[in-house]
Amino acid sequence: MRIRVINPNTTWSMTRLIGECASAVASTGVTVEAVSPTMGPASIESHYDEALAVPGILAEIARGEAEGVDGYVIACFGDPGLEAARELARGPVVGIAEAGMRAATYLGRSFSVVTTLGRTRGRAWDLASTYGVEKACRGVHACEIPVLELETSPDAQERITQACREALALDESDVIVLGCAGMADLCAHISDAIGAPVIDGVAAAVVTVEGLVRLGLRTSGINEYATPPAKAYTGLLAEFQLGEDPAARNLSLGSEIGVPAPHSLPNEQSRR
């Protein structure tokens, strides 16, 4: 089974970290391919960043489809482009906010999100509402560490741990959901330190995709997630035009970053 984990930002060191955390939870026989698009923002911490990350994500999905990938994780806590990705992919596509928040509801009555910058809190609340877990989400807290400083700031781990501790106390919640893929490697440490379940959405999404694929389940190809109607796309987006034949996707903007050597492609049933 091949699971492609897409880091929607273009910072390769973060993609590598995400790939390591994703591989650590995947079962034997599952190949995790961590990729990032060649075009897009270096980090995603605004609505503008999120919007401009989406074309690169869709190019990665289209490339994955051509290569026979079984399922995808969108590894950014805003779950950018998730529904559009589902319109392109045969296999399941799971976002890390979605997987993290849903997993939290299995482990406690309530959860708190600890994210990067305060300006991303609104998006997290929107997603909690979209996924129907708004009642369980007691708070969304920011540690005010920019995404790319998660790797470089010497006290990042300590500050995030403290933010998680404070969130639990303030919200009287049962579980913490980490609000950035760049925090994936801190999960176990923080859980030990605060004595509560801490969920990294990357890990939660990988095991969700793996489980769905193992169950033989695919994205529904009927109604809302059916192939988008063919039409003209112009200007910078011309290469995103889909052909009439949904099986012959030929978006040509896919990245070469981080894609491992080709594997033998699994025999896949087309869903359309």
In sequence order, what are the residues at sequence separation of 6 or more whose Cβ sits closer than 8 angstroms to the Cβ of residue 50?
44, 76, 78, 80, 123
Q: How far is the CB of 38 from ligand 2AL (least distance, A)?
A: 16
- Is 44 an interacting residue with respect to ligand 2AL (CB under 6 A)? yes
Binder among 58, 59, 76, 89 for ligand 2AL (CB under 6 A): 76
Alpha helices in 7-155 (DSSP H): 12-25, 47-67, 82-88, 96-107, 121-130, 149-152
In sequence order, what are the residues at sequence separation of 6 or more whose Cβ sits closer than 8 angstroms to the Cβ of residue 269?
none
- State which residue, 75 or 242, has the beta carbon closest to ligand 2AL: 75
Q: How far is the CB of 235 from ligand 2AL (least distance, A)?
A: 26
Q: How far is the CB of 246 from ligand 2AL (least distance, A)?
A: 30
**CB burial class (10 A; 0-12, 13-18, 19+) of residue 234?**
exposed
Could you report how far apart the first and last alpha carbons of the chain are, in Å?
A: 20
Q: How far is the C-alpha of 70 from the C-alpha of 72, rounded, in Å?
A: 7
As beta bridge partners, residue 3 has 32, 71
- State which residue, 15 or 191, has the beta carbon closest to ligand 2AL: 15
Binder among 180, 204, 207, 253 for ligand 2AL (CB under 6 A): 180
- State which residue, 147 or 163, has the beta carbon closest to ligand 2AL: 147
Site stretch for ligand 2AL (CB under 6 A), options 72-80, 165-173, 212-220, 234-242: 72-80
Subset of 87-116 contacting ligand 2AL (CB under 6 A): 115-116
Angle at the Cα of 26 from the Cα atoms of 24 and 32, rounded to 5 degrees: 90
- Is 60 an interacting residue with respect to ligand 2AL (CB under 6 A)? no
- Is 205 an interacting residue with respect to ligand 2AL (CB under 6 A)? no
Binder among 10, 15, 43, 219 for ligand 2AL (CB under 6 A): 43
In b/e form, how buried is each residue of 259-268, taking b as 16+ CB within 10 angstroms?
A: beeeeeeeee
In sequence order, what are the residues at sequence separation of 6 or more whose Cβ sits closer than 8 angstroms to the Cβ of residue 253?
37, 38, 39, 55, 56, 59, 239, 240
- State which residue, 41 or 246, has the beta carbon closest to ligand 2AL: 41
CB 76 within 8 A of CB 181: yes
- Is 181 an interacting residue with respect to ligand 2AL (CB under 6 A)? yes
Site stretch for ligand 2AL (CB under 6 A), options 155-163, 179-187, 206-214, 242-250: 179-187
Q: How far is the CB of 73 from ligand 2AL (least distance, A)?
A: 11
Angle at the Cα of 84 from the Cα atoms of 83 and 87, rounded to 5 degrees: 95
CB 202 within 8 A of CB 72: no
Q: How far is the CB of 148 from ligand 2AL (least distance, A)?
A: 8
Q: How far is the CB of 251 from ligand 2AL (least distance, A)?
A: 22
Residues that bind ligand 2AL (CB under 6 A): 9, 43-45, 76-78, 115-116, 120, 147, 179-182
